[in-house]
Amino acid sequence: MDPALASPIANEAFEDGEFSLEPEPYDDGLVEPRHIDLLYIEDSKADFQIVNRMLRSMDTFHADAFHAADLGAARRMSADRNFDVILVDYWLDTEIGVHAIDDLGGRLGSAPVILLTGTAGQDVRQIGLRAGAINCLDKNELNPALLETTIRYALHTFALEAQLKQAINDLHSANRAKADFFARMSHDLKTPLNAILGYAEVISEQLFGPDEAKKYAECALNIRAGGTHLLEVLNNLIYHSAGQGTFGRMAFEQADLRDLARRAAAMVKMSAKMRGHQIDLSLPDDAVMANCQPPMLTQAILNVLSNAVKYTPPGGRIGVRVREHRGSGEIRVDDNGIGMSADDVKIVLLPFRRVSLPPELAQDGTGIGLPIVVDILERHGGKLDIHSAPGEGTTVTFKIPSGQESPGADIIPMERSQNQ
């Protein structure tokens, strides 16, 4: 076709290169001959020679044909070489070629299979297709043009099926990831909501009596803190959904890690006070900046702080320290709570869900929100360190790369994002 007559739409592409209407090139041998390795499982050497002559006359393929006289030889040759196409005779001495098709994986094998037969009738074709052959050819009607067309069709169909299977696998993976994310976030949603409902019930039922205004005021403050926490979680869910299941498409901002630590500590302040805990903030004078997603990172800190409040006996101490160390921003949360053994640490990092897991992970986690913390940090290029001992307490350290741009992230200055 004259390029001048081609539709401009056919060559349309976005400037960023992420999308094009041009189809992906497919090596079907039409532009220039394509080399293929072909295995022909045939007990008759004469029939193999006939087909081999046809293969040599093809215009769109240069075929190297290999002959296997029986199924055992076909297995050995397939183990040593990756074939592009496999031809199978219907009758193989005392066996039938259907067994070979099944043995080589059929439609799930490494190459498309074409069944050749000298037996007339539709039954043979149906048997071959059910066994996994892409096509079935009658030897009595075979000619070079038909064989060449069938091979091209088989290669094209096999490639399309492989793409379809990959797309289905990707879809299943995306669905599993989404289900896993929301299952792990259920803990973070229920924790503030339960607190809100509990304190609201105390006020509505006047459980402290009619003259305890100060205590009811504290309950109202707890409800406010729980509502702020819940709003933070919901915002994260919205941002996550807007990013189509990936944090990578969310905008990264220049944020001061001291501000994130202050915000998370403020959210648990009333809960800590009700349990008699003291939260010590140790913040440097100079800013500790990081390119991050502030809502997600704040939620991660909040998850760890909430656990420290929950699992530290009344009157305990909880510390939050921020510093810059060896090119990374660090946020450390430590407590003198109940602590954990090394085995316990492994368990708390398991997702809290009710979906199938691999056999080696066939155990539900505790639902204390640490898996999502690990996920958030990994997507920031950071990591989570946990040091704990039973009866002594737990130290959880966030390590965030300082001054590094997240791959593909839009860096938005904190001042501009706050004014929007």
Region 9-142: CATH code? 3.40.50.2300
The secondary structure of 213-235 as a DSSP string is HHHHHHHHHHHHHHHHHHHHHHH
Half-sphere exposure of 137 (CA within 13 A, CB side): 23
Domain with CATH 3.40.50.2300 in the chain: 9-142
Question: pTM, whole model, 2 decimals?
Answer: 0.46
Mention every residue, 6+ apart, whose C-beta is less than 8 A from residue 98: 90, 115, 127, 128, 131
**Rg of the chain over CA atoms, in angstroms?**
33
How many CB atoms sit inside 10 A of residue 309's CB? 21
What value does the mean pLDDT take over residues 128-137?
A: 82
Per DSSP, helices labelled H in 104-143 are 122-131
Checking if the pLDDT of 326 tops 50, the result is yes
Tens of pLDDT, residues 344-363: 888 888 754 433 444 444 34
The answer to whether residues 103 and 131 touch, using CB atoms and an 8 Å cutoff, is: no
Q: Where in the chain is CATH 3.30.565.10? A: 170-419
CB 340 within 8 A of CB 390: yes
170-419 — its CATH code? 3.30.565.10
For residue 182, pLDDT over 90 is answered with no
Which band of pLDDT confidence, cut at 50, 70 and 90, is reported for residue 122? Answer: low
Question: Within its chain, how far is the Cα of 129 from the centroid?
Answer: 35
Backbone angles phi, psi at 36, to 5 degrees: -135, 145
Which pLDDT score is estimated for 185? 66
Mean pLDDT, the chain, rounded, equals 77
